A and B are shown apart, each in its own frame.
Chain A
Amino acid sequence: MLTFLALTSVALLGIVPEQSQAIVIYTGWERHALVGSDVRLSCSFFSWRWTSEDVSFSWTYRPDGSRDTISIFHYTRGVPYLDNKGPFKDRLEFVGNPGRRDGSILIKNLDLSDNGTFTCDAKNPPDIVGRPSSVRLLVFENVPIQAGVITGAIIGVVLGLLVLIVVIYYLMRFLVARRVFSLSVRSVSGLWPAALCQSGFCQGLELKPEPIPGMDTCVAKLA
């Protein structure tokens, strides 16, 4: 039994390193931002190996509708290199923590021409085989309202008012009927005190509220 366990554990340890050679990179799927604001593009990775000192991150950018990708950021051997010639000159900032496997960048003062796809590629030697991950940046002039929010709000408010009116109507009728009932009980002085009625001795008396004359509604008749 023990030898069997030992053999399986050795086999697993032998298998796992072969599978762990792939590094998995995570970024967001889409980022929405307003013109003139800043956006943080996050990038992190998962690797079976310890974070080495030669860990490197690189970001590339492909504008919407274009086929060319341009490199905008590279981090290697502890030094971040930002874009100093391209479209993001003086607008990039490295806000990641490579020791914590975070290679995020901050882009400041967005413009409509910054719409595009940003790709993050991370390498953790000797773990270098992996697929770069992309995040799509969408820059808006003003925040668009989600489809259906106002629709649902208007419908909800109107139907809510309808339900409220019906509830208030029935409440008023119930209160008026109760007042009429308690008045008529008091007028039959002493024979049927209210306490006895509440404990269920008034079988002959009708406790159904009387409909207000002239306001016959079919729903009341059904009730």
Chain B
Amino acid sequence: MLLLLLGIIFLHLAALVLLFVSTIVSVWASSETGTSDLWKNCTLLSGGHQCSPASTGEWIQAVQAVMILSIIFSCLSLFLFFCQLFTLQKGGRFFLTGTFQILASLFVMSGAIIYTVMSPEWVLGTYSFGYSYILAWVAFPLALISGLIYVILRKRE
């Protein structure tokens, strides 16, 4: 029982950490000479990195908003899980926790999809997708599975 609990919390925390890293580190597109998105574009010069704020298009702001919302919902879901763990009656299901976690995973998915479809408008052809983008795609199934587990899970004694 304790093992199951620890496993579920570990899964949730893993998804949350991936979301944080994907949102904060600005490496959604990268090339040999620099990185760009989500918050700043950095180019590698002889003296070092030179960074400037990212382009202010509508789509990149939408991706920023959706990633931040997914972090907020995942944190809320973690808080609600601990809340419901101590107050739910026997046999009850963690519906609220699961709902918030699934919503968070949907937000990450829509953010990654928007970025995939719209980024050719402002990203040069020499740039390829960076590791933050890949982490966002990895966080999506982790969060989804975590949310589904919460919905199926029943509270024992």
Binding site for B on A (CB under 8 A): 144-155, 158-159, 216-219, 221-222
Contacts and interface: CB of A to CB of B under 8 A. Distances in A.
B51 to A, nearest CB: 14
B64 to A, nearest CB: 5
Interface string B40-79: 0000000000000110111001101110110010000000
B88 A216 contact: yes
Interface residues of B, number: 22
B88 A151 contact: no
A148 B80 CA distance: 29
6 A-B pairs closest in CB distance? A154-B65, A150-B61, A218-B87, A218-B83, A221-B87, A147-B56
Given A154-B66, A216-B92, A217-B96, A146 B56 contact: yes
Interface of B: 53-54, 56-58, 61-62, 64-66, 68-69, 72, 80, 83-84, 86-89, 92, 96
Contact of A159 (B58, B61, B72, B88): B72
A218 B61 contact: no
Contacts of B83: 218-219, 222
Given A144-B56, A217-B96, A150 B88 contact: no
A147 B96 contact: no
A154 B84 contact: no
A154 B69 contact: yes
A169 B58 CA distance: 33
Nearest to B89: A216
Nearest to A150: B61
Given A151-B68, A158-B69, A218 B88 contact: yes
Contacts of A219: 83
